[in-house]
Chains A and B, each alone.
Chain A
Amino acid sequence: MKVNIKKELKENQTVLFIMPSQDYNRDVVKVVKSLKGNIGYVTLNKTFDSLKETFKKAKVKTENILFIDAISKTIKSVPDQTEGCYYVSSPGSLTEISIAIDRIIKHEFDYLIFDSLTNMLVYESKAPVAKFVSSLVNKIRGSKTKAVFYALDVKEQAALIEQSGMFVDKVIELK
């Protein structure tokens, strides 16, 4: 990844990263590693436990990260929250996700990472997802939090990527 993430987030409050599938897991670690401050991390495709495991292996500290895990509840029994994580019913529970993100914004986290728009489309059609992104970006604009949205570079979802790209300050293709 040749993008200077710090610089991009200094100049833009909301950024959409279009990630190639083959580098995706590696890029996810790099982005978190490059951010200093409190991070709210919304995960729709990796469980909280697996992210902790991944970050630990990459020597990334997670004490400053609050996770919103929307996938664990679909595959196993978990409480509504544990230390460092809020669990949401599913990636399609837009209201629950939105409420959890509101807490992050309210507590003035430095960064919000949304991983990823691609997975949300499994559960919801393009229109509600685009509306969700638009509403979320508006909330972020009224806060000090900076947001990074991820989307995988897949042809089938080009329309959503294009639409979401109109809401955020900058779209960056990580090639």
Chain B
Amino acid sequence: MAKLIMVVDDEEDIRNTVRAILEREGYNVKIAVNGDDCLKKLEDNKPDLILMDIMMPGTPVRKVVSKMKDIKIIYLTVVQVSDAERLELLSRKNVVGFINKPFNVHDLVNAVRGVIG
């Protein structure tokens, strides 16, 4: 059965692009428009991986992520963090990667494959 990925981003273009890329790679993809929407949708579906934008309106991502301890997360981000902050964020058990925007298709697919196969 195809793995399920949830793409959480407030930008429609990004959501649609990432969904198209991942579906082409054979993944099932659900989308959420922000952290609150993501938490709501998790009640019905538990994805194998979440791709989450760091910078979104609504509940801060820090708080959203703290509520989903057993789901792997890759951050999609334009936010610039220091090397130390990156390590600190990755030290959270379920945060498994960063993809900087703008990203290329290979980086995205490789990052996803590296986590869920």
Contacts and interface: CB of A to CB of B under 8 A. Distances in A.
Nearest to A77: B62
Interface stretch (B22-30, B82-90, B106-114): B82-90
Interface in A48-107: 49-54, 71, 73-77, 89-92
Given A77-B62, A122-B10, A45 B79 contact: yes
Interface residues of B, number: 18
B7 to A, nearest CB: 17
A45 B53 CA distance: 13
Given A45-B79, A49-B81, A50-B85, A74 B10 contact: no
A89 B60 CA distance: 9
A46 B61 contact: no
A47 B80 contact: yes
Nearest to B65: A75
B79 A76 contact: no
- Chain A interface mostly helix, strand, loop or mixed? helix
B21 interface: no
Contacts of B80: 25, 45-47, 50-51, 54
A163 interface: no
B17 to A, nearest CB: 15
A45 B78 contact: yes
Contact of B61 (A52, A53, A75): A75
B39 interface: no
Nearest to A118: B78
Given A45-B55, A75-B62, A52 B85 contact: no
Given A45-B55, A45-B79, A91-B55, A75 B84 contact: no
Contacts of A50: 80-82, 85
Given A51-B80, A92-B57, 14 more contacts: A46-B80, A46-B81, A47-B79, A47-B81, A47-B82, A47-B85, A49-B84, A49-B85, A73-B60, A75-B89, A76-B85, A77-B62, A91-B55, A122-B57
Q: List 7 A-B pairs, minimum CB-CB distance, nearest first.
A: A49-B82, A46-B80, A74-B60, A50-B82, A53-B82, A50-B80, A123-B57
